[in-house]
Each structure stands twice: as C-alpha cells, then as structure tokens.
Amino acid sequence: MKAEPSESKRRLQSRPGQLAAAAKRVTIKGQQMVMLTKDEFDRLLQKADEWEPLLPAPNERGNYPALETLDVLLARDILRHRRRLGLSQAELARRAGIRPETLNRIEQGKRSPSVRTVDKIDRALREAENEGGSP
C-alpha cells in the first residue's frame, strides 16, 4: 500500500489562534485520506467524546423552551452516565433492548423518548453500574 503525498500540508486548528500538529493529505488507492500524529488523533478522539448537546436558545424573554430543554438535559444525563461506566452506545442499547439508532437520537437530544424507553435505559445503566460497568 503506497501512500502518495499531496502537494499541500495543512495545519489543523485545535482552538482559535492555536495551531495543532500538521495534517498531511495523502491519496491511497485513489482515496483521499488525512494523516495525523497519534497525539493529535488521541486529542480529537477525546474531544469528540466530550461532546454534549447544546441547550436550545432562550426566547426573547430569556426563557428556555421546556420540552426541548428537558430532552437535552435527559440526553446529557444518559451520556454522562454511559461514559462514566465505559459503555458504548451499542452496548447500552443492547442492554436496554432498544435500537442503537434510538439511543443515538436520544443522546443527541433530537428525540423525546417514551417513559418506557427511559425506564429501559435507566434499568440498563443501573444494572451495568451494579456489575462494575464491564460490558
């Protein structure tokens, strides 16, 4: 597998005004790829795992829309609990008996789950906690 470097090297921005490690664009078997240092890859992986859905914007009176805010707060709680236990979305979904796509939408705050679904997730998280979080 021969990597052919492209003409340009690009710098990735880790934070505004701060340069990260160089990223090198390469083409392997006709497919465009980007090479990063292991440290930069690990940093980006950590940053992706820290993501949480944002609260909806407040209205002109400064109040947050109740239902959308509750969806995001529930999503954050599930995300934090799942991460603390070291479970993947797929593993938690399997334990809860729901589809991984459903859990993904709930964790993004894009879906209002039923009480039954929340109960399944909560039960799966509690059981995993009692087991010590091992999958």
> How does pLDDT run across 19-69, given as a tens digit for each residue?
445 788 999 999 999 999 988 888 887 787 778 999 999 999 999 999 999
In a domain, 27, yes or no: yes
In a domain, 114, yes or no: yes
Total number of residues shown for the chain: 135
Percent over 70 (pLDDT), the chain: 82
In a domain, 55, yes or no: no
In a domain, 58, yes or no: no
Q: Which domain holds residue 122?
A: 66-131
Same-domain check for residues 43 and 70: no
Count of structural domains within the chain: 2
DSSP character at residue 98: S
**pLDDT in the model for residue 135:** 53
Distance CA 53, CA 64 (A): 15
**pLDDT in the model for residue 9:** 38
| Residue 1 clears pLDDT 90, i.e. is over it | no
In a domain, 60, yes or no: no
